[in-house]
């Protein structure tokens, strides 16, 4: 039972263009969503998050959009840079009032940004 799904295993974009990574979830109790970025041989690092009371959160080149009715979120990176090449994981929590709730992760999407 995959509660958080990233249906695209990989994405390739040209430097300077927009990267859009998608994520779907099934559990309506999820109230907090996060994106993590992972380079090879390193642990994932936190990138950006969004509460279910919002539909957009922006941090520099990174914007996360949440569509609760569709149970869908997306991460936009613009402009994309070669250093953004990594695996991106979507994650969800049903305990957004505390940051010590467990996270359920998607399968990840490998982003390649070509110079």
Positions that interact with another protein (CB under 8 A): 6, 32, 34, 36, 41-46, 49, 51, 89, 91, 93, 96, 98-108
Tell the smallest beta-carbon distance from residue 69 to another protein (Å).
22
Tell the smallest beta-carbon distance from residue 102 to another protein (Å).
5
Round to whole Å and give the CA distance between 108 and 22. 10
User: What torsion do the CA atoms of 85, 89, 90, 94 make, to the nearest 10 degrees?
Assistant: -150
Tell the smallest beta-carbon distance from residue 14 to another protein (Å).
26
């Amino acid at each position: 039972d995959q509660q958080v799904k990233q249906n695209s295993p990989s994405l390739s974009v040209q430097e300077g263009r927009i990267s859009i990574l998608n994520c779907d979830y099934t559990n309506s109790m999820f109230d907090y969503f996060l994106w993590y970025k992972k380079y090879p041989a390193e642990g994932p690092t936190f990138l950006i998050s969004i509460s279910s009371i919002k539909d957009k959160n922006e941090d520099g080149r990174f914007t996360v959009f949440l569509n609760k009715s569709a149970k869908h979120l997306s991460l936009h990176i613009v402009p994309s840079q070669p250093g953004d090449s990594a695996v991106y994981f979507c994650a969800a929590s049903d305990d957004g009032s505390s940051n010590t709730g467990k996270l359920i992760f998607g399968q990840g999407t490998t982003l390649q940004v070509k110079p």
